[in-house]
Amino acid sequence: MTQLPSNPDAVRAAPCAGLRIGDPAPDFSARSTAGDIRLSDFRGRWLVLFSHPADFTPVCTTEFVALARAAGDFAERDCALMALSVDSLFSHFAWLRMIRDRFDVEVRFPIVEDPTLVIGRAYGMVAPQDNDSGTVRTTFFIDPEGVVRAMTCYPANVGRSTPEMLRTLDALQAVDAGSVLAPANWEPGDDLLQQPSALLDDVFAAPGQTDWFLAQASSGKRK
Ligand code: BEZ
């Protein structure tokens, strides 16, 4: 059922090649816990697409509980969540039922089945030398135009931070809104930075030694 479009431009990453920031996110259609879905149907919203190694594993379970509890925070930012693993649709269903019963939270965002790893390979979620392993914990932040704007990759034994995923999303949305830059440890409400000048006149006219390339912009909005 999982399909990548035949257009080679849409799937420009060779198997296992991975993606880079600025690449279009390869389109696909697949079965998921929310029915048949197509990645391109999410255009117009932000999308966090993330892979996990396997259903019914301890770290993955904590991640899904945390993300389901934070689903409203992502929705507030007009951002959809989509998960993916090699496990079958019925494995996903059984795991979500267990999570609901044990942790009292319903995972309502789609979990895609990718039994042949065709999507995982197109996104570089699988190590090139692996023939049968699950996907690692890769996260893609995809903007409303379908462009990969940030990505992270964690090993199977370290879970992701939901607050850091939300902070990354906030920073991407803040820099887009003002053509500004987000400094280290930026949080919503903190000052952003101006784009540095590309004009020598601005360099010589700046009052302080660093002001032409390191200057505060307006505050980002506090969530
Ligand atoms: C986990 O989610 O706990 C896990 C998954 C795969 C390998 C090791 C740990």
Per-residue pLDDT in tens (0 to 9) along the chain, 223 residues: 555 555 433 333 333 347 999 999 999 999 999 999 999 999 999 999 999 999 999 999 999 999 999 999 999 999 999 999 999 999 999 999 999 999 999 999 999 999 999 999 999 998 666 655 677 899 999 999 999 999 999 999 999 999 999 999 999 999 999 889 999 999 999 999 999 999 999 999 999 999 999 999 965 454 4
Long-range contacts formed by 56-65: CB under 8 A, 24+ apart: 56/91, 56/94, 56/95, 56/98, 57/156, 59/156, 59/157, 59/158, 59/159, 60/159, 61/95, 61/99, 62/159, 63/137, 63/159, 63/160, 64/95, 64/96, 64/99, 64/107, 65/99, 65/103, 65/105
Give the Cα-Cα-Cα angle 25, 174, 166 (nearest 5 degrees). Answer: 65
**Ligand 1 pocket: which of 65, 157, 160 to mutate (most atoms <8 Å of CB)?**
157
Residue 33: which of 122, 100, 132 has the closest Cα? Answer: 100
Q: Round to whole Å and give the CA distance between 200 and 132.
A: 55
Helix (H) or strand (E) holding 148: strand 148-154
What are the tokens at 13?
């990453």
Q: Round to whole Å and give the CA distance between 147 and 151.
A: 11
Ligand 1: centre distance to CA 65 (Å): 15
Residues flanking ligand 1, CB < 6 Å = 53-54, 57-60, 156-157
Position 169, amino acid: L
Ligand 1: centre distance to CA 61 (Å): 9
Ligand 1: centre distance to CA 21 (Å): 27
Tokens 């990718």, residue located: 114
Nearest CA to ligand 1 atom 7: 156
Atom of ligand 1 nearest to the CA of 63: 2
What is the layout of strands, in order, in the sheet containing 137-142? 35-38, 29-32, 111-113, 79-85, 46-51, 137-142, 148-154
Is 16 one of the annotated active-site residues of the chain? no
Ligand 1: centre distance to CA 32 (Å): 21
Using alpha carbons, list the distances in angstroms from residue 194 to 11, 176, 178, 216: 35, 12, 9, 6
Per-residue model confidence (pLDDT) at position 18: 75
List 191's β-bridge partners, or say none: 219
Per-residue model confidence (pLDDT) at position 4: 58
**Ligand 1 pocket: which of 59, 63, 126 to mutate (most atoms <8 Å of CB)?**
59
